[in-house]
Structure 1
Amino acid sequence: LHPVYVGKARRRYLIAEELVGHPLFQNLVDRTGGGAGEAGTTVVGCEVVLFEHLLWMLENADPQPESLDELVEYYAC
């Protein structure tokens, strides 16, 4: 599991490596000004509730590649 810190409060999540490597997740990190944190962590600069919805989508649905940009725009706060 990979530690991810989300939002201004830096809420901590432990995320499966396959989700961290997903193109949508990586694009979100890039667009929200996130990136690598301390000791191999990842920082995502969006609201926690939106991040949790994104996780649900990645775990329960398979977004089509053509919709990735639209989804990232929505989640990038």
Structure 2
Amino acid sequence: MARGGNKLTKLKSSVLKKWQSFSKLGRSNANAIAAANHSSDDEENDSKHLYPVYVGKSRRRYLISSAVADHPLFRELTDRSGEADIVTVGCEVVMFEHLLWMLENADPQPESLDELVEFYAY
């Protein structure tokens, strides 16, 4: 494995461990997501401007705001999934929660998007 890839793997592992312990303390801002919301009332989702997205191999359902849905990093991750019928993101659930936090709090810059896509994607 390339040296840069090895660093990325170690960083990803470290983030996963830290985020798992952090996420036990509380969920991300409810404005951006409603984790595992099983409501099928589409009219309610539209009125709040939240959109369903399915994450990971387990297809855990999240409702995301239009600000997250419109972010270039999020769009690149969903484009990689290759599914046309539903919006999916191919990454671990805990990484997706970290991604949502980052989009709310850090606003990644376009020059780092390729690295971030590689970091979050399977």
TM tier, smaller:
0.7 to 0.9
Tell me which stretches of 4 or more aligned residues in structure 1 moved more than 2 Å.
Answer: 34-37
**CA 1:47/1:13 → structure 2, altered by over 3 Å: closer, same or farther?**
same
What's the TM-score once normalised by structure 1's chain length?
0.86
State the distance in 1 between where 2:98 and 2:82 align: 18
Alignment length (residue pairs)? 73
**1:69 maps to amino acid:** D
**Alignment root-mean-square deviation, CA:** 1.3
**1:65 maps to amino acid:** P
Identity %: 73
What's the TM-score once normalised by structure 2's chain length?
0.56
State the distance in 2 between where 1:64 and 1:11 align: 27
Name stretches of at least 5 consecutive residues in structure 2 with no aligned partner. 1-49
Higher RCO (Cα < 8 Å, 6 or more apart): 1
- Superposition pairs of residues 1-77 of structure 1, within 5 angstroms: 1-31=50-80, 33-37=81-85, 41-77=86-122
Report the secondary structure of 1:4's partner residue.
strand
